[in-house]
């Protein structure tokens, strides 16, 4: 798993931005700091709350020049619907091929639900040099990040 101070693994994946585009981490470093908020799945209670909390704090992220992306293994089509349903004003990245969660080593299974290879709830802040300046990873999908801490990390990146 990459750690604070490491170069963030680069990736290219579909971007759900109301349409469907493409997102490459290294091509978006000019928009840094980048807040990469990984979540297990769209339309679930905790994930919906997390993405809504980030939406409600967007002004704070924008004040420090941070760009927020939500990332899950859902399809870009599902993520666009999720984005519309929650009225999110930031883009979502589809890791339907599960390559990104593998690179970041944050894959988890919900064996009791029969769901495999979803993202652990995680946040990585990446600076303009492509380095990870903050990371938070939970093995418990019901635990959300400390949003004040994420905001502070973005401000310090």
Give the model confidence (pLDDT) of 45-103 as tens digits: 999 999 999 999 999 999 999 999 999 999 999 999 999 999 999 999 999 999 999 99
Q: Which of 70, 46, 47 is nearest to 58 (CA)?
A: 70
The whole-angstrom separation of Cα 78 and Cα 135 is 26
Question: E strand or H helix at 48, and its extent?
Answer: helix 45-56
Indicate the CATH number for domain 39-156. Answer: 3.40.30.10
| DSSP H/E element including 77 | helix 76-86
Phi then psi dihedrals of residue 133, to 5 deg: -105, -10
If pLDDT is split at 50, 70 and 90, which confidence band does 113 have? Answer: low
Q: Where are the domains positioned within the chain?
A: 39-156
């Amino acid at each position: 798993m990459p750690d604070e101070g490491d170069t963030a693994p680069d990736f290219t994946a579909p971007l759900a931005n109301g349409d469907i585009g493409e997102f490459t981490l290294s091509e978006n470093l000019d928009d840094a700091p980048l807040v990469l908020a990984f979540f297990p799945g769209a339309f679930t209670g905790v994930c919906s709350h997390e993405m809504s909390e980030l939406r409600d704090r967007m002004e704070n992220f924008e004040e420090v020049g941070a760009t927020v992306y939500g990332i899950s293994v859902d399809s870009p089509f599902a993520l666009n619907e999720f984005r519309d349903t929650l009225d999110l004003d930031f883009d979502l990245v589809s890791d339907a091929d599960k390559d990104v969660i593998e690179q970041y080593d944050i894959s988890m299974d919900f064996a009791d639900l029969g769901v495999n290879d979803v993202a652990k709830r995680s946040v990585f802040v990446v600076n303009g040099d492509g380095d990870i300046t903050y990371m938070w990873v939970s093995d418990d999908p019901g635990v959300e990040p400390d949003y004040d801490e994420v905001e502070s990390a973005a401000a310090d990146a």
